[in-house]
Amino acid sequence: MAVPGFGEIAEQLRRSTVLIHAGGRGSGSGIIWSSDGLLVTNAHVVRGSHPIVQLWDGREFEAVTQSRNSRRDLAQLRIDAASLPAASPADSSRVRPGELAIAIGNPMGFVGALATGVIHGVGPIRGLGTQSWIQADVRLAPGNSGGPLADSRGRIVGINTMVAGRLALAIPSNAVRDLLSARPADGWLGVTVHPALIPRSDLRRKTLGLVILEVEPGSPAALASLLPGDILLGTEEKPFTAVEDLAFALRGTGPGVLRVEFLRGDYTRIRRVTVQLGNPLQARSSVAA
């Protein structure tokens, strides 16, 4: 189906999309949310408190991370620039299956790449908690994270975040409005984790654990001597029963103390450590939680 003015719509979206450099760990995308330099992206794209942002015209700026919500995987950045080509957000609650979807991003080093498809669904997804997602059959690749998912008029309905099966998952634009309403910052642990079922002979069953894949140097997790390969079981208050439980434990806490239970090597021995949580805005870099 032909869309009148599609070329102009796509070009405007490209100009409203930025490239975010994450050092030696690749790059991601972001959206110019307002013309005075406010940008929005995924929290997992922002590897530090001062990432480098490249605009469509090649100009580069050092950005400041103003807020970061690891539970919802959103981050708010600011660059010192004016009169930028800001995107136009839509009301994501009005998105319906079957509508045209347009994705812009910077996958695999291709700046301003475009993909199209249709919306498949809107709502929570099993295994990913209670938050709502926009599901679309647009093709995403590493580097698309943080970029816009737009409707046929070029209005932003979501922020592309991950792929589940063959569908792209985007955070609804209304969730971005919630982020910009200045809620308390999440605590920062400094780890990347992956869920796994752990055999426990003492419990005669398998239990969910979050395997640490990476520990950010100088992070609260590193200072607490947590290591890649350690398996987080929960806090002293409750065990982890879902992937998002760690993010909930950090939600809105800011700097503080978190008592964590974990395994290292011996599945029969539960270890405990007290972690002094940090603030991601004061840290050199941050990752998934």
Active site residues: 44, 73, 145
Cα 162 from chain centroid (whole Å): 9
Q: How many CB atoms lie within 10 A of CB 117?
A: 16
Q: Write the DSSP symbol of residue 235.
A: E
Cα 213 from chain centroid (whole Å): 17
Cross-sheet strand order for the sheet of 231-235: 191-200, 205-215, 231-235, 256-264, 266-277
Cα–Cα dist 44/28, whole Å: 9
Cα–Cα dist 287/278, whole Å: 12
* 100-105 and 27-34 beta bridge pairing: unpaired
Query: In sequence order, what E strands does 59-132 have?
Result: 60-62, 64-69, 74-78, 100-105, 113-123
Q: Do residues 93 and 174 touch, judged by C-beta distance below 8 A?
A: yes
Cα–Cα dist 147/165, whole Å: 19
Query: In sequence order, what E strands does 13-127 have?
Result: 17-21, 27-34, 38-41, 52-54, 60-62, 64-69, 74-78, 100-105, 113-123
